[in-house]
């Protein structure tokens, strides 16, 4: 079963409207800027943890991965408690896939939440 409503006139019209919006140059410029801000914010926020708690930052644009040295579930759980939904991917990695229309302020806030959660988890692991 592929889809219940796919191909109906409403779904087709919605798809066309989304494509028209995405094709606008200012929207694409925003997406590129958002990807750059996400890259900068993550690198800055997670710099103290690189090589220890955080193994690698990877990805491009708004599709990013943060590979941890151990199970990232505690980070994911704490982030959720702070209103940020993260997705685990492939063992020790957290996948970031924000919407293309995410505000830059929200990207900065999300990176700060991630840094706070990693700080808390790293401190808990050191004291254990």
Per residue in 66-106, pLDDT tens?
A: 999 999 999 999 999 999 999 999 889 999 999 999 999 99
* Structure-derived torsion over alpha carbons of residues 2, 28, 42, 63, reported in degrees to the nearest 10: 20
Residue 84 buriedness (CB in 10 A; 0-12 / 13-18 / 19+) = buried
Please compute Rg for the chain using Cα positions: 17
1 band by pLDDT with thresholds 50, 70 and 90:
low
User: What's the pTM?
Assistant: 0.84
């Amino acid at each position: 079963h592929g889809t219940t409503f796919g191909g109906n006139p409403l779904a087709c019209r919605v798809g066309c409207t989304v494509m028209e919006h995405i094709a606008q140059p200012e929207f694409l410029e925003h997406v590129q800027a958002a990807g750059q801000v996400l890259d900068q914010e993550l690198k800055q926020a997670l710099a103290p943890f690189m090589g220890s708690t955080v193994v690698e930052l990877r990805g491009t644009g708004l599709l990013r991965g943060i590979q941890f040295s151990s199970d990232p579930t505690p980070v994911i759980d704490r982030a959720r408690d702070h209103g940020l939904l993260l997705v685990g991917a492939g063992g020790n990695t957290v996948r970031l896939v924000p919407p293309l229309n995410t505000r830059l302020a929200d990207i900065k806030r999300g990176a700060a939440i991630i840094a706070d959660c990693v700080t808390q988890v790293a401190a808990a692991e050191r004291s254990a």
